[in-house]
A = this chain, B = another copy of it.
Amino acid sequence: MRRGDTVVFGDAPAVTAWAAAGGKKESEGPLAGGFDTLFTDARLGEETWEMAERGLARSALETALRKARTGAGALDGVFAGDLQCQCTASAYLMRGVDAPFLGLYGACSTMTEALGLAACLVSAGHMRLAAACASSHFCAAERQYRTPLNYGGKRTPTAQWTVTGAGAMLVAPGKSVPKAPRIAAVTFGRVRDFAVRDITNMGAAMAPAACETLLRYFADTGEDPAAIDCVFTGDLGAVGSELLGQLLAREGLRLGPRADCGLLIYDRAEQDVQAGGSGAGCSACVLAAHILPRLAAGRLRRCLVVATGALMSQTTFLQGESIPGIAHLIELRAGAAQKEGSA
């Protein structure tokens, strides 16, 4: 059922399996134990960082399929995207995955855009099993958006560290796997641009979009913010999270616990990541390594994931354009078994 910008699913689709693959820095972070695979070689044995990112995505997708005891042949569609120009990590991933491919670009919001669309098509019966994937790679992103790595540019305190990692999730009709976490609702976001031009401060560029989408979700559904265990933002980092708090306060929306994927994935005190993590792989990895396992274990009953994206390119940056932000929200709930306390 559609309410405003929010689709509330009558029979909420299930996330039946998930997996996260990460790199060396992720292996040293607080969520390392939740990853399925961790690679210490930034190239994964490939010749280029771009193909290494494809390797991360492949690892995540193959692991998720293995956990679900199925193969790519069972997939009616793969919704996938990444940060590389022309989304090549996903396109080249799909060269080896014989399933229909729906390429997405939502920058760091890609994971919830993909999950939201997968849930819409599965709930309608248009797909029986869909995969949602997103990935990023620090080295591939840094040289593409900013400066060559070997230039060794000094990073500003507001900068965020692009996650080297990928997450993959499978979405199927809710009744097929009653215990699995559900996608109860999705709010696709609108572009918001508060004229931030600093590509080393993306948290500030994305915070207004996160605020907008949260306001719409609560207005559309009439839900009580106190009923939500936690609101996870995608990758606002320290600066954007602080700004979101200010924006929400100004709008009078009082949320309960709030966490940011970009702050969960690294230890800022120890890992030299400036304002925290970012990248399409950030919310993807935190979903698969942290949020979904907690829903499956009944440690979370109900949460919102609001992945945020900064929609600029190096070209628009050099042309002096400001950074449009977007945020797509999904509401996740623990599966049926957990509701009865039997998890």
Count copies of this chain in the complex.
2
Say yes or no: B191 contacts A94, CB within 8 Å.
Answer: yes
One of A121-129, A284-292, A295-303 contacting the partner: A121-129
Is A177 located at the chain interface by the 8 A CB criterion? no
A2-22: CB near B (< 8 Å → 1, else 0) gives 100101000000000000000
A13 to B187, CA, bound (A): 22
A104 to B113, CA, bound (A): 10
Is A319 located at the chain interface by the 8 A CB criterion? yes
Pick the contact of A319: B50, B81, B97, B188 (CB < 8 A).
B50
Number of interface residues of A (CB under 8 A): 59
Interfacial chain B residues near A98, Cβ < 8 Å: 190
Interface, chain A (partner B; CB < 8 A): 1-2, 5, 7, 47-48, 50-51, 76-77, 81, 83-88, 91-92, 94-95, 97-107, 113, 117, 120-121, 123-128, 144, 187-191, 193, 311-316, 319, 321, 324, 326
The 6 residue pairs across chains A and B that have the minimum distance between CB atoms: A124-B124, A91-B311, A86-B313, A85-B85, A100-B188, A94-B191
Say yes or no: A124 contacts B127, CB within 8 Å.
Answer: no
Interfacial chain B residues near A99, Cβ < 8 Å: 190
Interfacial chain B residues near A193, Cβ < 8 Å: 95
A83 to B105, CA, bound (A): 11
Residue of B nearest to A8 (CB): B126
A99 to B48, CA, bound (A): 38
Interfacial chain B residues near A95, Cβ < 8 Å: 191, 193, 324
